[in-house]
Structure 1
Amino acid sequence: MHDVFDPDSDRGRVYRFLVGHPHASAPRLAAGTGLSETAVRAVLEELAAEDIVLTADSGDARSRWEAVPPTQVVEALLRRDDVVRTALRHTGTEMERLYRSARRDAGHYEALEVVEDPVRVLAVSRQLQQSVRHQLRAIDVPPYSGTSDHYLAQEALQRERMAAGVVYRAIYHGSAFDDPIAWPNMARMIEAGEQARTLDDPPMKLAIRDNDLAVVTLAADDRPGLVSLLIRPSGLFQALSNTFESLWRLAVPVSAAGIGTPIDARDRRILTLMASGATDEAIARHLGLGRRTVVRRVSALLDSLGATTRFQAGVQAARRGWL
């Protein structure tokens, strides 16, 4: 979203032109920005989904577009970023306290255990799941270095724990969709009952067991491999728990429903109009459909994409290549 203020980005060029040229059409925007009309329309749909530009009609070639006032866009950006910034600041404060405590000759941070042995680092993840009673929360970030056998073993354990009533909530990095091993694993787990969301750039690899243990996994500083930090109930544990919940609210839900199922042209047009902010009435009018038909298709598309809002549906549809 920040790139709307970057004059060198396509989104920034389109938004900047609209700021100085109210009620411009897509052809005029293309002429004024040097972009193709197809690229302009794609950018306009993205900006409309983020409430950065508006159009009063259905988005055809005759549509006139208007920029949302820049101060309003800035305020929206700041409000969104403040949520993440506040949570990360709390975590950073605790991490700083931990950093200083670990470097004093006397004393230590009692809530922390550092695991450096590569074999035990792998065992920690398995032990975490085997001992969870109610809920496991996780943030998964690249690199995805596990083998197919590793993921299959992980799947078997997770299915076993979910069958025992354990709730899994996971936040995945957006790049997981492009990974040939991580994405199929993620899709199967979602289909099995995992609650999953995606975020463009989560800040850490994290797993939280119930309310009594968190594990942060980091790259080792002085050698190849990983280090696990085991954090027990403390100010740091609460900061990590709060960070997860803040990121969960910001992340976009993912659904395994409809994976591998092609979308027809009508639903693609409905999704495109939904993502641009069109109402059910506007969609029905534009496509020549009955309002009830549109309402049913919108509801089905939201369910299939695991989305609760039209914006989320647009994001998920774009990630699946439906738009």
Structure 2
Amino acid sequence: MDEVLDPDSDCGRVYRSLVGHPRASTGELAARAGLSEAAVLTTLKELAAEDAVVAIDPDSRAWDAVPPAQLVEALLQRDAVRRAGLRQAGAELERLYRFARRDAGHYGALEVVEGSTRVLAAVRHLQQSARREMRVIDMPPYSGSPEYYPDQESLQRERMASGVVYRVIYHGTAFDDPIAGPNMARMIEAGEQARTLDEPPMKLAIADGELAIVTLAADDHHGVIALLIRPSSLFRALANVFDALWRLAVPVSVAGADTQIDARDRQILTLMASGATDDAIARRLGLGRRTVVRRVSALLARMGATTRFQGGVQAARRGWL
């Protein structure tokens, strides 16, 4: 639960109040955190489930914080486990890919498709077969013809209108790409859930729990190949890779694709990214605290960020800092 270290989140305010005021009651915490007692109690239960706080009497009337050093170490260990899982899944994919190139017939869950036209046709068929969800990692190079992209947008709109949820992770440079940038903005506006990640490891599309396609550059000639993976240990590994990357990626909003920002908001974002509090930003820029809070909230919503940290990452990726 990274929010526990964010001083502007409910979890962060409650945890910080307990750090400075041990054995505090829910009423005392509510007064210090600026929340209702009901909200504080809900937050405490969430923190307790993450082993960030403990109730110190049988009726949970008084609480205390787990030592911050212990909490940070637990968060770092959790992140290390998640990254280790990604490496393991990637290693398994690499081994199976190389095995498949030697003799695809020995691994029944995998089929190799070669050539841009056949690969794009396979991706289209994959989307048409989806009934619940499409999970996609979209990254360059883009191999379709100019006619492919309007057709793809039309297909995705049809699938989303029929109830298929699209969750897409874009490469961190997508905002500046003449192909991916405008497409991303239109699809988000149509209902796509989008996030960005600096360096995704692969180009991937997964339809429900039925079929996955990994698109790769061909090793021995110009062009691309696709690996079609059916339910198997490899399929589960790819699904786990996507889910882990989705948690690491930064959300994007419709307005997030807009690269325009005024000078005052740029100053606020720069100070926010440096760790300045709302009070410090207000003093530095000669603004009222409420004005800063309102503008920070609007900027985070514009970027689709849920924390100040995510906001700083998104602002940096857009070149706003």
With normalisation by structure 1, the TM-score equals 0.70
Offset of residue 259 of structure 1: 4.4
**Unaligned residue ranges in structure 1 (runs of 5+):** 1-72
Q: How many residues align?
A: 250
Q: Distance in 1 between matches of 2:103 and 2:148?
A: 39
Instruction: Identify the range of structure 1 (266-275 vs 114-123) with the bigger mean alpha-carbon deviation.
Output: 114-123
Offset of residue 251 of structure 1: 1.2
* Residue pairs, 1:182-261, within 5 angstroms: 182-257=180-255, 259-260=257-258
User: In the superposition, relative to structure 1, how do residues 219 and 74 fare at CA in structure 2: closer, same or farther (>3 Å)?
Assistant: farther
1:287 aligned to 2:261? no
Offset of residue 237 of structure 1: 0.4
Alignment correspondent of 1:93: 92
Fraction of identical pairs, as percent = 68
Question: Contact conserved, 1:98 with 1:109, CA < 8 A, in 2?
Answer: no
Q: Distance in 1 between matches of 2:202 and 2:103?
A: 26
Match of 1:130 among 125, 128, 131: 128
Post-superposition CA distance 1:292-322 (Å, at most 9, x none): 2222111111100111111221222233333
SS of alignment partner, residue 209 of structure 2? coil
Question: Contact conserved, 2:212 with 2:235, CA < 8 A, in 1?
Answer: yes
* Residue pairs, 1:35-184, within 5 angstroms: 80=79, 83-97=82-96, 99-100=98-99, 103=102, 108-184=106-182
Q: Distance in 2 between matches of 1:317 and 1:185?
A: 20
User: In the superposition, relative to structure 1, how do residues 101 and 126 fare at CA in structure 2: closer, same or farther (>3 Å)?
Assistant: closer
Alignment correspondent of 1:312: 310
1:274 aligned to 2:272? yes
Q: Distance in 2 between matches of 1:90 and 1:145?
A: 26
Post-superposition CA distance 1:185-229 (Å, at most 9, x none): 111111211111111111111000011111011112222221111
Match of 2:299 among 294, 298, 301: 301
* Aligned alpha-carbon RMSD (Å): 2.7
With normalisation by structure 2, the TM-score equals 0.70
User: In the superposition, relative to structure 1, how do residues 217 and 282 fare at CA in structure 2: closer, same or farther (>3 Å)?
Assistant: same
Q: Distance in 1 between matches of 2:290 and 2:272?
A: 15
Alignment correspondent of 2:10: none
Offset of residue 87 of structure 1: 1.6
Q: Distance in 1 between matches of 2:201 and 2:193?
A: 19
User: In the superposition, relative to structure 1, how do residues 118 and 292 fare at CA in structure 2: closer, same or farther (>3 Å)?
Assistant: closer
User: In the superposition, relative to structure 1, how do residues 97 and 83 fare at CA in structure 2: closer, same or farther (>3 Å)?
Assistant: same
Q: Distance in 1 between matches of 2:217 and 2:97?
A: 17
Match of 1:265 among 254, 263, 266: 263
Q: Distance in 2 between matches of 1:94 and 1:177?
A: 29
Q: Distance in 2 between matches of 1:293 and 1:118?
A: 52
Q: Distance in 2 between matches of 1:204 and 1:97?
A: 15
Offset of residue 172 of structure 1: 1.2
Q: Distance in 1 between matches of 2:95 and 2:258?
A: 46
Q: Distance in 2 between matches of 1:311 and 1:206?
A: 27
User: In the superposition, relative to structure 1, how do residues 135 and 279 fare at CA in structure 2: closer, same or farther (>3 Å)?
Assistant: same
User: In the superposition, relative to structure 1, how do residues 93 and 259 fare at CA in structure 2: closer, same or farther (>3 Å)?
Assistant: closer
Offset of residue 112 of structure 1: 1.0
SS of alignment partner, residue 148 of structure 1? coil
SS of alignment partner, residue 202 of structure 1? coil
User: In the superposition, relative to structure 1, how do residues 251 and 211 fare at CA in structure 2: closer, same or farther (>3 Å)?
Assistant: same
- Amino acid paired to 2:220: D
Question: Contact conserved, 2:166 with 2:193, CA < 8 A, in 1?
Answer: yes
SS of alignment partner, residue 286 of structure 1? helix
Offset of residue 81 of structure 1: 5.9
SS of alignment partner, residue 255 of structure 2? coil
- Amino acid paired to 1:321: G
SS of alignment partner, residue 230 of structure 1? strand
Post-superposition CA distance 1:71-101 (Å, at most 9, x none): xx99998875653342231332254256447
Q: Distance in 2 between matches of 1:147 and 1:113?
A: 24
